[in-house]
Amino acid sequence: MNRPVVIGLLLLAKICSAQNKTSPADLDGAQAISLNKTYHFDKSPAGFGNIQEFPLNQTRSNIYFEKERNTIWFSISIPISGTLTFEISPKNINDDYDWMLFNYTPLLKSQISNGTAKPVRTNNARNNKSSASKTGLKEGIRNLFENPGPGKSFSKPLEVKSGERLALLVDNIYDLGDGFDITVNLKPSFSLTGQLIGSVKSKLSGLPLKADVTLEDDSTGFVLSKAKTDSRGNYRISAPLARPLNVIADSKRYIFASDKVMLDTVDTKTVNLLLDTIAAGSKMVLFNIHFLPNSNEILPNSETELIRLKNFLQTKPEWEVKLTGHTNNNVFADNKYLQKLSFERAVAVKQYLVRNAIPETRITCLGVGGKTPLIQTKDPVAGMKNLRVEVELERK
């Protein structure tokens, strides 16, 4: 084969490889973002990715972009039904961010390509510097779409259902922008008519602690409400009725603690939490890491608990940990099987941590099956507390 032909083939291979690499500026490379969390981007998107999914088309409806310029796609999964809002806050008020929001279905890519994709909300209004050029979905606004030019910077919130998925395309009409922050919020459709009350204290001294208290929906890991303890270590937090919940307390210089709770027959329940000091041998009991039955596959609603553990280890690099998996004491299951399953579940947690930049050398794993239950009960719901992962601190 001639040398020019070889060079030409190599160049073609590089071009094809570059074209095949997904870009967050294209729908296929959409960046997944979580709800009720702020994401920071120091630089504006640059360009439209591998494909200009919305090329210049002056006959297209004004609810769409005139053309795609400097874009990034986000994918948003909806864990519970409710009202969706979001805010895009530019770092430079001279930047002008437009956006389009779509239902993320398997047909969306082809619909964009053939011009039949229909957004559920858009906003292409000129940036309003008097409100820091912010845009998004906001309560109290009625317009679904906003055309280019002077207009309202926000559009009407979107009612969403559990299991839906959305695709948000954000475009800075100016080049070389300074980036933006984005926060997507979801207000649950069910009411927080109940209350959890209780105290957060030191397990060692019994003294009250200044702590942050978080309430999560157990089925989804979604954060429902937050509170802080008062000077006596007491807290009060709003909660829904008839839903499995997780309450978590976190305080500086202590290990966070959590408990499972459900307000089924009463609208107020007391949950007191004791926090262990950060010391060798101290343990955190993680009830909120969930697995598929008879499997070591971690379920998506475990994400918030795993993030808490990861963040703790990242801020405490001087500590190693021993992860111990526990199953229930199933009389119909072989003890060796339960021990193996509990060990594999501990390893699955370790693998998550390693994927998220926690050195493998800091983590050891153990599985004990159902040999050490927290509670002895025949109630299958109460017995779920025995399915857990314990994290014990060890000096390096």
- pLDDT tens-digit map of 361-390: 999 999 999 888 887 777 766 667 788 999
Considering only residues 16 and 44, tell me which one the structure prediction assigns the higher pLDDT. Answer: 44
pLDDT tens digit string along 116-149?
999 999 999 999 999 999 999 999 999 999 999 9
In what helix (H) or strand (E) does residue 99 lie, and over which residues does it extend?
Answer: strand 97-103
CB atoms within 10 A of CB 325: 28
DSSP summary character for residue 140: T
Instruction: Please tell me the distance from the alpha carbon of residue 107 to that of residue 317, in angstroms, as a whole number.
Output: 46
For residue 115 the two structure tokens come to 């011009």
Q: How many helices (H) and strands (E) does the chain have?
A: 4, 23
Considering only residues 316 and 60, tell me which one the structure prediction assigns the higher pLDDT. Answer: 316
What is the predicted pLDDT for the residue at 300?
Answer: 81
pLDDT tens digit string along 236-249?
999 999 899 999 99
Q: Which residues, listed in sequence order, are joined to residue 228 by a DSSP beta bridge?
A: 212
Query: Residues 6 or more apart from 385 whose CB is under 8 A from it?
Result: 260, 287, 374, 375
Instruction: Please tell me the distance from the alpha carbon of residue 92 to that of residue 173, in angstroms, as a whole number.
Output: 13
Across the range 279-286, mean pLDDT stands at: 93
Distance of CA 330 to the CA centre of its chain: 33
Instruction: Please tell me the distance from the alpha carbon of residue 261 to that of residue 224, in angstroms, as a whole number.
Output: 14
Query: Is the per-residue pLDDT at 81 higher than 60?
Result: yes
What is the predicted pLDDT for the residue at 17?
Answer: 41
Task: State residue 254 phi and psi, 5-degree precision.
Answer: -130, 160
Grouping H, G, I as helix, E, B as strand and the rest as coil, residue 28 is: helix
Q: What are the Cα distances from residue 300, in Å, to 73, 104, 288, 390?
A: 22, 19, 11, 19
Considering only residues 333 and 222, tell me which one the structure prediction assigns the higher pLDDT. Answer: 222
Residues above pLDDT 90, as percent of the chain: 75
* 220-224: long-range contacts, CB 8 A cutoff, minimum separation 24: 220/79, 220/80, 220/162, 220/301, 221/79, 221/288, 221/300, 221/301, 221/302, 221/303, 221/304, 221/305, 222/35, 222/36, 222/79, 222/80, 222/186, 222/188, 223/36, 223/304, 224/188, 224/192
Instruction: Please tell me the distance from the alpha carbon of residue 256 to that of residue 212, in angstroms, as a whole number.
Output: 10
What is the predicted pLDDT for the residue at 14?
Answer: 40
Instruction: Please tell me the distance from the alpha carbon of residue 312 to that of residue 358, in angstroms, as a whole number.
Output: 11
- Asked if 240 contacts 194 with a C-beta cutoff of 8 angstroms, the reply is yes
What is the predicted pLDDT for the residue at 383?
Answer: 67
Helical packing angle, 335-355 and 303-315, nearest 10°: 60
Q: What are the Cα distances from residue 326, in Å, to 135, 285, 339, 351, 380?
A: 47, 10, 8, 17, 15
Across the range 84-110, mean pLDDT stands at: 97
Mean pLDDT across the chain, nearest whole number?
90
Distance of CA 364 to the CA centre of its chain: 26
What is the predicted pLDDT for the residue at 329?
Answer: 77
Question: Which domains, and CATH codes, for the chain?
Answer: 23-188 (2.60.120.380), 190-277 (2.60.40.10), 279-396 (3.30.1330.60)
pLDDT tens digit string along 155-186?
999 999 999 999 999 999 999 899 999 999 99
Distance of CA 4 to the CA centre of its chain: 51
What is the predicted pLDDT for the residue at 381?
Answer: 67
Across the range 33-38, mean pLDDT stands at: 86
CB atoms within 10 A of CB 260: 16
For residue 264 the two structure tokens come to 């089924």
Side chain identity, residue 35: L
What is the predicted pLDDT for the residue at 331?
Answer: 62
pLDDT tens digit string along 183-196?
999 988 988 899 99
Instruction: Please tell me the distance from the alpha carbon of residue 180 to that of residue 274, in angstroms, as a whole number.
Output: 40
Across the range 283-299, mean pLDDT stands at: 91
Residues 329-365: b if buried by 16+ CB within 10 A, e if exposed: beeeeeeeebbbbbbbbbbbbbebbeeeebeeebbeb
- Asked if 330 contacts 337 with a C-beta cutoff of 8 angstroms, the reply is no
Instruction: Please tell me the distance from the alpha carbon of residue 112 to that of residue 19, in angstroms, as a whole number.
Output: 19
Query: Residues 6 or more apart from 199 whose CB is under 8 A from it?
Result: 208, 229, 232, 233, 234, 235, 272, 273
pLDDT tens digit string along 36-72?
888 999 999 999 999 999 999 888 899 999 999 999 9
| pTM recorded for the entire structure | 0.69
Across the range 333-338, mean pLDDT stands at: 87
Q: pLDDT confidence of 82, banded at 50, 70, 90?
A: very high
Query: Is the per-residue pLDDT at 2 higher than 60?
Result: no
Residues 9-43: b if buried by 16+ CB within 10 A, e if exposed: eeeeeeeeeeeeeebebbbeebeebbbeeeeebee
